Chains A and B, each alone.
Chain A
Amino acid sequence: MHEYAFFLGCIAPNRYPGCEAAAIKTSEKVGIKLLPLKGGSCCPAPGAFGSIDLAVWYAMAARNVCLAEEMKKDITLICNGCYKSIYEVNHILKHNDDLKDKVNEVLAEIDMEFKGSQDVWHLAELYYDPKICGVQKIRDSVTTPLTGAKVAVHYGCHLMKPQKERHFGDTENPMWLEELVDALGCESVQYRNKMQCCGAGGGVRGYDLTHSLDITNEKMINLQEVGADALTEVCPFCQLQYDRGQVEIQETFGVSYNLPVLHYNELLGLAQGMSPQDLALDLHAIDCTPFLKKVL
């Protein structure tokens, strides 16, 4: 069993608790144990918080990493926004002593110190990593194959970009999440401009909702074009933007898509035999029933 400190962030536990429940249960079936990271805070939001003062962003994110260092565990998480903050700050501070010293000066006031002893991983990359889990293990864990459904994938931005500060390689047309989706028995579909942003990041959702929804709407048009039955992603903030965003798009632009949006962990949960109630799919703004009827 590989053990990790599970960093929750905000939107997964506080808006889509099904993602959190699914992550804990599904990962256990493929040999990953998630331990609660006690006292974690907001990562803090890279767009909203980083835009104001990056120095505070570094210090706040470093505090979260310190909690895991005290546990002597690597961090894993299920949100791209958290990944940007926690992974990137951990990465930068490990390679920049000046910044590290500045951050530690602040952390000293609360008796903490960033050492740089742990790594940070997105749970999806652990699923894909054959040394930890791998696609075959995911395939073997499936008890209810989700056959007959076309599922589109949204990678989100902060997981893989900027490429220079990550280790995923190509960010123009990656296919590894599709492999993870295909392993569940459903068929992944390609659509136009797959790597485009959901529109929520950088504080734009809060600053100019219509603008942000317009970006989402473009994605929805492209998804509708290929007849996707559901959209899956690995970021609860993207999920919020697509799920609640569809309701807001209906109110703002008068078009509706009714495309169910599921976090990859929720999808994996379904394939491993969890019920829609166990995943709190009823909390989603867009009804998942048409998709569930197709696959269950």
Chain B
Amino acid sequence: MAAKKYDDPELNAKLGNRRYHTTDTNPEFTQNVLDISRTIANMCYQCGTCTGSCPSAPRSSYRIRLFMRRAVLGLEDEALTDPDLWLCTTCYSCTDRCPRGIAPTDVIMAMRNLAFKRDIIPRNFLKTVQLIYKTGHGVPNNDVNRAARVKLGLDADPPTTHSYPEFIPGIQKIIDHFDMKQNADRILEGE
């Protein structure tokens, strides 16, 4: 059925344009989320199985279904500035149960990646980057643990970058390739 015609030519143009977005929306956001997540959020028919499966939903205002809609509509600012974005435990229950075969968890991961590009990120994530850059480990060894390891007959330091620090420059090169450490330092300093 053809769209109803109104007197207002501007309104008619809007109604005729099937890719019309309001001023709040950014169609590129939908595409960026798709590119990073490699899952098609547009397939979502808003059934809510994801929110129903989510361990974070019953104890917060985090609603994964809402983020799916934001991805489809391109509501970039609304999605990326919502602190609930960081309450996903990435348990993938929603992904396994989605009747449309979408991976909502990966949509969240993509949005977090895009948030970082705008310097929106909780500090604990940045601390992990700094630790990995320095030691190769997100959770480095300590003296209590070294003593326990020796008691068990293990080397005080595991045979990872802790025992082979010559591998650390390579790791730093990978991280520097993406300027990740530099950005993490800058964001933490700016606080």
Contacts and interface: CB of A to CB of B under 8 A. Distances in A.
Given A51-B113, A52-B116, A215-B59, A162 B174 contact: no
Interface string A129-163: 00000000000000000000000000001100111
Interface stretch (A202-210, A254-262, A288-296): A202-210
Contacts of B121: 51-52
Interface residues of A, number: 67
Interface string A81-120: 0000000000000000000000000110110100000000
Interface string B42-68: 000000000000011001100000000
Contacts of A202: 86, 88-91
A158 B92 CA distance: 8
Interface string B17-57: 00000000000000000001000000000000000000110
Contacts of B138: 10, 42, 44-45, 48-49
A203 B86 contact: yes
Contacts of A54: 36, 109-110, 113
B91 A161 contact: yes
Nearest to A58: B174
B89 A63 contact: no
Q: Which of B60, B103, B126, B178 has the most CB of A within 10 A?
A: B178
A215 B89 contact: yes
Nearest to A110: B170
A215 B57 CA distance: 10
Interface in B139-156: 139-142, 145, 148-149, 151-154
B82 interface: no
A272 B122 CA distance: 44
B54 to A, nearest CB: 9
Interface string A16-60: 011011000000000000001111111011111111111110011
A222 to B, nearest CB: 12
A47 B89 contact: yes
A218 B55 CA distance: 10
B159 A211 contact: no
Nearest to A237: B139
A48 to B, nearest CB: 4
A51 B162 CA distance: 25
Chain B: interface size category: 35 or more
B118 interface: no
- Which of B60, B124, B141, B166 lies at the interface centre, i.e. has the most chain A CB atoms within 10 A of its CB? B124
Contacts of B74: none
A200 interface: yes
Contacts of A186: none
B122 A207 contact: yes
B55 A41 contact: no
B152 A280 contact: yes
A197 B55 contact: yes
Interface string B84-101: 001111111101100001
Contacts of B103: 162
Closest 5 CB pairs of A and B: A206-B124, A13-B158, A197-B91, A161-B92, A202-B90
Interface of B: 36, 55-56, 59-60, 86-93, 95-96, 101, 103, 105, 109-110, 112-113, 116, 121-122, 124-129, 132, 136-142, 145, 148-149, 151-154, 158-164, 166-167, 170-171, 173-175, 177-178, 180, 184
